[in-house]
Amino acid sequence: MIRYRQATRTELDTAIEWAAQEGWNPGLNDADVFWDTDPTGFVCAEENGEVIATGSIVNYDGVFGFMGFFIVRPDRRGSGIGREFWRWRRDTLLSRMQPGASIGMDGVFTMQPFYAKGGFVFSHRNLRMAGTGRPAPAGAFDGLTELSKLPFAAVADYDRKHFGFAREAFLRRWIAPHNGRALAIWDGNGLHGYGVIRPCREGFKIGPLFADSEQTAESLFVALADQATGAPLYLDTPENNPAALALAARHQLTESFGCARMYYGSAPALPWSQIYGVTSFELG
């Protein structure tokens, strides 16, 4: 008999490990940050005391949800388990939110038809661009500020404009990455861009990378990529921002993976021309 239930903190580690085996390259410290964002937002399917499928149904203050970590253990695939578990996840997340709230997800391309049958509508593709980190030239850090040293209210406000919803619990941890770097361009009155780079199972990922202009995005990228000098470097770029793809190309990053951004309900009106890198494929 299969039972669907909330996952434990240890079972989130299982989901992270399975994600790594699928080649999704999770961050080394993602589990702690994700759990603190919404401890009730991680679920699993259990059979005979064993976890056979995982998923996330993270709830942002009842007004937006995000689904991720949808993995069925390889030996149980093809039996219909995933289909029923996925629907249960969607409906459970909807029940945790306000009426009319939307859900976002980044799903692998091959699963788009399945997600579409479940009510999700395609928005655009987010492409994982891969390359190698390079040392920043002299003066690259001039005009940049450590993000965690800025007024948190200002950081949260800028993030909300680009993510679409408040996510303070997540943000407080994310902008101080262990062995990573978080930088911003700040004029004394407000932010004009910020970016975060964190260590992953393989190399480093930049995400998010939000910027008011191409020049600001370039400055942030160069300084962040310095943290990954000589190591694999990844940036998850929204394909509906040509400037983001151009930035990746200038720095010899090439497509290695991708997901379809899809929404159940109304898609948030985001300034995609200012989004050069999404935060994560797991939590949005």
pLDDT band at 37 (very low <50, low <70, confident <90, very high): very high
Domains 2-125 and 128-257+267-277 share a fold: yes
Say if CB 145 and CB 235 are below 8 A apart: no
Strand, coil or helix: 253:
coil
Distances (CA, A) of 44 to 15, 21, 86, 104, 136: 9, 17, 10, 19, 43
The domain made up of 2-125 has a fold known as: Aminopeptidase (3.40.630)
| Residues 191/147, Cβ–Cβ less than 8 Å | no
Q: Tell me the domain boundaries of the chain.
A: 2-125, 128-257+267-277
How many CA atoms does the CB half-sphere of 96 hold within 13 Å? 22
| Residue 16: pLDDT over 90 | yes
Top-level class of domain 128-257+267-277: alpha beta
Query: 50-60 and 121-132 as β-strands: parallel, antiparallel, unpaired?
Result: unpaired
Mean pLDDT of 140-169: 96
The string of pLDDT tens digits covering residues 178-231 is 999 999 999 988 999 999 999 999 999 999 999 999 999 999 999 999 999 999
Count the helix, strand and coil residues of the chain and give each as a percent rounded to the nearest 5.
Answer: 35, 35, 30
Q: Which pTM does this prediction carry?
A: 0.96
Q: What is the pLDDT of residues 264-278, one digit of tens each?
A: 999 999 999 999 999
Mean pLDDT of 139-148: 95
